[in-house]
Amino acid sequence: MRTTSGGRGGWRSRLDFDSLAYAAVLAFLFVFLLVPFLSILVVSVTGREVNLLGGLLGLSQMEALVRRIAEAASPKYYVQLLTFPRYLRALVNSVTLGLGVAAACILLSLPIAFGLARTRMPAARLVGALCLVPLMIPTFISSFAFILMFGKTGWITQVVKAALGIQEFLNIQSPLGVAMVQTFFFFPYALLPMLAVFKVMDPTLEEAAHLLGAGRLFTFLTTTLPLAAPGIGAGALLVFVVSLEDFGTPMILSPRRFPLLIVEAYREMVGYFNWGGAATIAVLLVLLSALVLLVQRRVLGSTEFGTITGKPASREPIEDRRISTGLFLYSLVALAIPVLAIYSTAVQSLATTWGAGLLPDGFTLANYAYVVERSAGAVLNSFLLGGAALAISLALSAVIPYLVVRRRKVVLDYLGFLPLALPGVPLAIAMILAFNNPPLKLTGTALLLIVAYVIRRMPYALRSTTASIRAIGSDLEEASFALGAPKFLSLWGVTLPLMLPGIFAGAIMVFLTSIREVSATILLAPQEWKPMSLVIFEGLLRGEFYTSSAISMILIAVVMTLQYAVFRLVGEKALF
Amino acid sequence: MARVRVQDLVKLYGPLRAVDGVSLAVEEGEFFALLGPSGCGKTTTLRCIAGLERPSQGEIIIGEQPVTSLPAYERPCGMVFQSYALFPHLSVFDNVAYGLRARLYRQGGPLTKAAILGSFLSRRAFPLDAALRERVREALHLVGLDGQEGKAPGQLSGGMQQRVALARALVTEPAVLLLDEPLSNLDRKLRVSMRGTIRKIQQALRITAIYVTHDQEEALSLADRLAIMDRGRIVQLGTPAEIYDRPATPFVADFIGAENLFPARAIRSGPDLTLVEAGDLTFRAAGQPKAERVRAVVRPQAIRLARPEEPLAADNLFRGEVRFGAYLGATARYEVAVKNLVFVVDVPDPRPGALYTPGDQVQLGFAAESVLLVEEA
C-alpha cells in the first residue's frame, strides 16, 4: 500500500504546475532563442539558408539538413571578414568608437556621480532625475536633435557664429558627431554603477586616510578612486556594449566612409542579400558583446573587497560649498545637452519652417494634425506590438525567476541572460534566418517582431523580478506549505503578489524599449505593422523633419509617462 | 604625547544633542577611557577630537594647539576604527605605509607628489625609500606581525587585522592615539589578550590614548582614568577605583555592574552607621547619606550564603530562598529572594558538590561597609 501511494504521489508531483511551466518555458526558449542563435552560426559557415526547425520534423528531413550543411560548410565568410578591408575597417571603427565613448562617458559622469553621492549638492533630486532623461530618448531622435542644434544651420551653430564669428565649429555628421551623441545619451549607463559604488563604499576608509594625514585630493586619488574602480570599469564596459549595439546614431549621423559593424550587418542583409556575410558580422557582434559582458560581470563581482566588519558608520556628506556648487554647475552643463535636444525636437515639431535661426519662422500645430491624420495607425501599432510583448514578458518574468530561484532550474538562468549579447540587428538577422521556412514560417509577421522584442529585453525583465523574488525569502512560501497550501496555491497566494511590483516594472520596461526600438524593427516589421519608431526613423532618413519631430514628441511623452510609472513601482533599479 | 583638552563640546544632530557640554582633560601619556551605553555620545566625542565631526560648539586643544577648525588630516591623531577600516585594495605593508606616504605627499613639491601618486600604481617604477620601509617594518614588529607585509588584509584573521590597524595608526608617531571600540569585533579570549597588547604598547611609547568602549570591564582594566557618559554628558570622571567604589549616581552604579541596586530610604543615621529601609527589609550601612532618598548598592561578591544550620555572622543577616542558580566555573551566581527583594549573589570558587538548587532555604549576610549609598541624581 505504502509503495503504491508513494508512487502515485511521485507521479502526480511530476505533472504539477512547476514541471508544466518548466517544459513550456524551455520549449519557448529553445524555439525562439537557441534555434535563431544556432541559425546564424550555421549560416555564417554555409552562406545559405538552412531550415534547422524543419530538420527536426523527421529523420529524412534531418538527413537532408545535415547533407546541405556539410556540402556548403566553409570558413570563407570568416576569411572574408578578416580580409575584406571594409569589414576590417568596420571592426576597428566599432571598437575604437566604443572605447572612446566609454572613456568619455566615464569622464563626463565621474564628477556628477561623486557630487550626487558624496556632497550636499543643491537640487540633487532634480539632477538625479535629469540623469535618467538621456536613457529615455531613442538615439535616432537624439541624433536628429543634434543636427537641429549643431548642424550647418543648427541654432547653436548660429549662436556660436554670431558670438564668436566661427563659421562651422563642428561637423556633426561625422564620427565625432556619433561619439558626441553616444556620450551625452549613454553616460547614465556609466553613472549609475559609479553612483552605487560611491554610496556603498565604507566611509571609515576615507576617514582612516584623513587621520593618517591624507588630504582630500590625496585621499580621493589613493583611496576613493581605487575602491570605486570596479564600478567605473563595469560602467565603461556596459557603455562599450551599448555603443557597439547602437544602430540609430550611425544611421543618422555616420558618413559612408566611416563603416561600423552594426550598419554593415544591416547593409549586407538588406542591401546585398548576402546572408553569409550578414550572419558572420552578426556572430562577430555577438561574440564581442558576450566577451565584454563576461568581463563586466567579473569586474562587478570583484566589488566585494576584503572582509571588513563592524557597523558601518553613517556618512557625513562633504560640506564644502565650493565643491558641491562646482559639481552642481558642472552637472547642469552636462545635462543641459540632452534637455536641449528634447527642446529642439519640440520646437521643430511646432515650427512652420525653421531655417538658419535661433527660432523658427512661425509656430503651428499643423505637424501634429498631419501626424494624427496619417500616422495614428503607427501609434496604435506601437501600442499593440509593445502591449503584446509586455503580455508575454509578464508571463515569462513571473515564471522564469520563480523556477530559477525556488526550483533551482539553473539552465533557465543562463538562457535568460543569453540575449544580453544579442544586439538588435543580429537578433533580427537570426530571427529571419530561423523562421523563413515551414514548419514555423514567421518571417514577415508581426508575431516574429513581438517575439524579438520579448527576447531582446528578457534579461532586464528577469533581473528586476529575480531581485524581488530573492528578497522575498523562501521561508514565506514554506510557511504557506506548512499551513497546508499546495504549491500552486502558495505561488498564487504568497509569492506572486509579492513579486508583482518587480514583474510589472520589468514588463513595462519591455514595452518601453519595444516602442523605442528601431534596429530589429526595421528588419522585421511588416509594412502594415510599422510602429511609430520606424515611421519616425524612415521619415528622418527621407527628410520629413517636421512631422517626424511631432511623432517623436508623442513617443517621448509616452516613454516619460510610463517611465515615471516604473519609478513609482520599484525605484531607480528599474533602469537596468 | 600631548595633553588633550576638550572644553564645553556640543554636537547637535538636528534636535538631538548627541554631545551636550562635555569637558575633559587627558594628561600626557595617560590612558583615558570614555565609557557608556550605545548612543551616549562617547563615539561622537572621539570623532570630534579626531576631526571627523565638526563640533556645534566648544573647543578642542591638543598640546598647546587649538585644533577645532583643523581638518582630520592636519591633526596629530592616530585612530583605530571599530571596523579597522583597513584599505582592502592595499597590502598590509601599504596600509601601514599609507600615513607616511600621505605626509611625504603633503610636505613634498610637485615632483615628490607625482612620485608618491606613481608609487600607488607601480612600486617598481617608484620605489619607496629604505627609511620609510624600515619604519613600516618596525611598526609591524611592534604589534608582532613580522613577515606579514605582503598579505592582503582580507587574508588575515580578525585579531591580525586589528594589529595592522594599530600599527598603521602608530607608525606616523601621532601625539594622541584614538581607539573607537577597537576590540568589539573579536571573540572574548582574543579581546582580553589584545587588551594587554594595547596597554603594553601604550605604556612603552608613553603615548596619550583615548579609548571608547561600552564594556565596563575593558574600561576599568585598561584606563588610568575614565569618564562615564550618559545622554551626551559626562556623569562621572575618575580613576577606575574611585568610580567602582564611589559611583556618583545610580546610573553609574548600575552601569559599572552593581547587580543589587535597591531604592531605599535612610530612616535613622548615626555618625558612621545608617539604618536603611529597602522594600520590606531594614539593614545597616556604613557612612552618612546627604539625602533621605537613596539607592543602596550591594555587590554580588560581597554577599555570603550559608545553609540554615551553618553558622554565619554578619552586620546584616537574613533568611531567603534560592530562586535560580548558575554554575560559571570560577564562581556560582544565585538569585536569592528575601521578602520582596531579590539579591544577586556571587559565590567564589564553588565546590560542585555543595551547590544550592532553586527552592533551597539559605542564610544571606553582608557587612555594613559593603553597602554603598548612592544619592538620587
Q: What percentage of chain B has pLDDT greater than the value 70? A: 99
pLDDT higher than 80, residue A438? no
- Of B87, B103, B120, Cβ closest to residue A205: B87
Q: What percentage of chain B has pLDDT greater than the value 90? A: 46
Tell me if B89 and A227 make a contact (CB, 8 A cut-off).
yes
The one-character DSSP state at A32 is I
Tell me if A215 and B79 make a contact (CB, 8 A cut-off).
no
- Of B81, B88, B101, Cβ closest to residue A305: B88
Q: Which single residue is written with the C-alpha cell 607616511?
A: B100
Cell of B184: 568589539
CB B140 within 8 A of CB B149: yes
pLDDT at A482: 64
The residue of chain B with its CA nearest to that of A229 is B89
d(CA B119, CA B113): 10
A→B interface, C-beta within 8 Å: 202, 204-205, 207-216, 218-219, 221-223, 226-227, 229, 305-313, 316, 319
d(CA A12, CA A2): 15
pLDDT at B9: 95
In this prediction, residue A164 has a pLDDT band, given cuts at 50, 70 and 90, of: confident
Q: Which single residue is written with the C-alpha cell 548612592?
A: B374
ipTM over 0.85? The verdict is no
d(CA A567, CA A445): 33
A226 neighbourhood in chain B, CB within 8 Å: 89, 120
> Which domains are seen in chain A, by residue range?
22-33+361-576 (1.10.3720.10)
Query: Could you tell me the pTM of the whole model?
Result: 0.76
Best of B69, B70, B87 to disrupt the A interface by mutation (most A CBs within 10 Å)?
A: B87
Q: What is the pLDDT of residues A374-415, one digit of tens each?
A: 888 888 999 999 999 989 988 888 888 888 877 777 788 888
- Of A221, A229, A310, Cβ closest to residue B83: A310
Q: With an 8 Å Cβ cutoff, is B182 touching chain A?
A: no
How buried is residue A471: exposed, middle or buried, by Cβ count under 10 Å (0-12/13-18/19+)? exposed
The one-character DSSP state at A318 is B
Q: What is the pLDDT of residues A254-288, one digit of tens each?
A: 878 888 988 888 888 887 778 888 888 888 888 88
> Which domains are seen in chain B, by residue range?
4-245 (3.40.50.300), 259-377 (2.40.50.100)
pLDDT higher than 50, residue A303? no
The residue of chain B with its CA nearest to that of A204 is B85
pLDDT at A322: 85
What percent helix, strand, coil does chain A show, rounded to 5? 80, 0, 20
d(CA A409, CA A401): 9
Tell me if A306 and B86 make a contact (CB, 8 A cut-off).
yes
The residue of chain B with its CA nearest to that of A208 is B85
pLDDT higher than 60, residue A14? no
Q: With an 8 Å Cβ cutoff, is B192 touching chain A?
A: no
In this prediction, residue A96 has a pLDDT band, given cuts at 50, 70 and 90, of: very high
Q: What is the pLDDT of residues A504-555, one digit of tens each?
A: 777 887 888 888 888 889 888 888 899 999 999 988 888 888 888 999 999 9
The residue of chain B with its CA nearest to that of A225 is B89
- Of A222, A308, A319, Cβ closest to residue B86: A308
- Of B51, B71, B85, Cβ closest to residue A205: B85
Q: What is the pLDDT of residues B152-166, one digit of tens each?
A: 888 899 899 999 999
Listing DSSP states for B50-80 in one string gives HTSS--SEEEEEETTEE-TTS-GGGSSEEEE
d(CA A261, CA A247): 10
pLDDT at A6: 39
A323 neighbourhood in chain B, CB within 8 Å: none
How distant is the Cα of A241 from the closest Cα of chain B, in angstroms? Answer: 27
In this prediction, residue B104 has a pLDDT band, given cuts at 50, 70 and 90, of: confident
Strand order of the β-sheet with B4-13 is: B16-26, B4-13, B57-62, B65-66
Best of A222, A315, A319, A320 to disrupt the B interface by mutation (most B CBs within 10 Å)?
A: A222
